[in-house]
């Protein structure tokens, strides 16, 4: 028996990295009964079937620290949200949605403002300030010219992290800059044992020992809608402390007169864009809850 990490899933085959080796594994049938199936990022116990051909079987999935449904990922330590300073314009609504979601999941989040070469410094710093004030780390990069990469890289050391952000913001370019190689280009990714090209939905790229980045093409569509609207304010981490000043139980923090959070916004303690985005996301969640069925 050995312990390993699932680094990718290729046509129903689990690729498991152990301390010294990489094995192709099947999963034991009894996982299906338990309605749990192994996902990328899972730590698993495997039983070697054939050392020569590196075949093994997954016997057990170890307890997960966290689980993301779409894309299916377990045990992510850090979520890296990438926006671009310009081209495309920074999408702070999307960013706030994703930050809320990572709070809900209980996963550390950090922010990268890429394409720093395409916008004035003050404008970038304005955005940076909104988020550093709340307590998020914000990295400013120019992936194309590999600027700001070392700082980001140091932050990711020792973690399994996943990048997310709208298309075109520079995620692939950033990953390449971190690896200093074109590893995320299509085609390079996976050939199975028969030499056939297959597509992997998600794969963990090893940067160094204990450091992996999940390359997730479809990460932009987070399931932010799983957050219950009345809990949304808890996912805006600078809002929480003002809730005690709300007069009503079940305050939505939008229109109520005696709302501590709204007052904090009016007093300039909560940023305009964060509060506006809270309202937008809240209304979104409300619409969805009302039309659920």
The binder of Mg ion chosen from 8, 172, 252, 271 (CB under 5 A): 172
| Pick 57 or 149: Cβ nearer ligand GDP | 149
Residue nearest to ligand GDP (CB): 170
Which residues in the 244-263 window bind Zn ion by CB under 5 A?
Answer: 246, 251, 253, 259, 261
Measured over the CA atoms of residue 90, residue 93, residue 98 and residue 99, the dihedral's sign is: positive
Q: List alpha helices for 34-193, DSSP H.
A: 92-105, 121-134, 149-156, 171-179
Spell 77-116 as b/e; 16+ CB within 10 A means b: bbbbbbbbbbeeebbbebbbbbbbbbbbbebbbbbbbbbb
Stretch that binds ligand GDP, among 47-55, 122-130, 162-170, 239-247 (CB under 6 A): 162-170
Q: Residue 241: in which H helix or E strand, if any?
A: none
Please report the beta strands in the chain, taking only residues with DSSP state E, as ranges in sequence order: 2-10, 13-17, 22-27, 43-50, 55-61, 67-68, 73-74, 78-84, 108-114, 137-140, 160-164, 203-208, 211-215
Number of residues that bind ligand GDP (CB under 6 A): 15
Partner touching 144 among Zn ion, ligand GDP, Mg ion, none, CB below 5 to 8 Å by kind: ligand GDP
Which residues in the 56-95 window bind ligand GDP by CB under 6 A?
Answer: none
| Pick 48 or 93: Cβ nearer ligand GDP | 93
Gyration radius of the chain over CA positions: 21
The binder of ligand GDP chosen from 50, 51, 117, 223 (CB under 6 A): 117
Please tell me whether residue 84 binds Mg ion under the rule CB under 5 A: no
What are the backbone angles phi and psi of residue 176, rounded to the nearest 5°? -60, -40
| Pick 7 or 177: Cβ nearer ligand GDP | 177
| Pick 68 or 246: Cβ nearer Zn ion | 246
Number of residues that bind Mg ion (CB under 5 A): 2
- Identify the DSSP state of 270: S
Please tell me whether residue 115 binds ligand GDP under the rule CB under 6 A: yes
Please tell me whether residue 216 binds ligand GDP under the rule CB under 6 A: no
CB of 141 closer than 8 Å to CB of 148: yes
Residues near Mg ion (CB under 5 A) are 171-172
Residues near ligand GDP (CB under 6 A) are 114-115, 117-118, 142-144, 165, 167-173
């Amino acid at each position: 028996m050995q312990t390993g990490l699932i680094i990718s899933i290729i046509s129903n085959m689990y690729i498991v990295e152990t301390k010294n080796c990489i094995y192709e594994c099947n999963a034991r049938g009894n996982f299906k009964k338990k309605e749990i199936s192994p996902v990328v990022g899972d730590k698993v116990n495997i039983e070697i079937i054939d050392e020569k051909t590196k075949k093994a079987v997954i016997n057990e999935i170890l307890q997960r620290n966290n689980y993301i449904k779409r894309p299916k990922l377990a045990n992510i330590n850090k979520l890296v949200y990438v926006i671009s300073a310009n081209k495309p314009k920074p999408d702070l609504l999307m960013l706030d949605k994703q930050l809320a979601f990572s709070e809900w999941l209980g996963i550390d989040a950090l922010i990268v403002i890429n394409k720093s070469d395409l916008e004035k410094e003050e404008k970038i710093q304005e955005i940076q300030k909104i988020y550093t004030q709340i307590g998020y780390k914000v990295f400013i990069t120019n992936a194309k010219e590999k600027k700001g990469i070392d700082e980001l890289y140091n932050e990711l050391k020792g973690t399994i992290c996943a990048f997310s952000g709208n298309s075109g913001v520079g995620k692939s370019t950033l990953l390449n800059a971190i690896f200093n190689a074109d590893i995320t280009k299509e085609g390079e990714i996976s050939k199975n044992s028969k030499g056939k090209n297959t597509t992997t939905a998600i794969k963990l790229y090893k940067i160094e020992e204990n450091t992996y980045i999940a390359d997730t093409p479809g990460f932009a569509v987070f399931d932010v809608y799983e957050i219950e609207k009345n809990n949304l304010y808890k996912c805006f981490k600078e809002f929480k402390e003002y809730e005690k000043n709300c007069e009503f139980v079940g305050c939505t923090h939008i229109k109520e007169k005696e709302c501590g959070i709204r007052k904090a916004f009016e007093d300039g303690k909560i940023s305009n864009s964060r509060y506006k985005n809270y309202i937008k996301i809240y209304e979104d969640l409300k619409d969805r809850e009302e039309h659920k069925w």
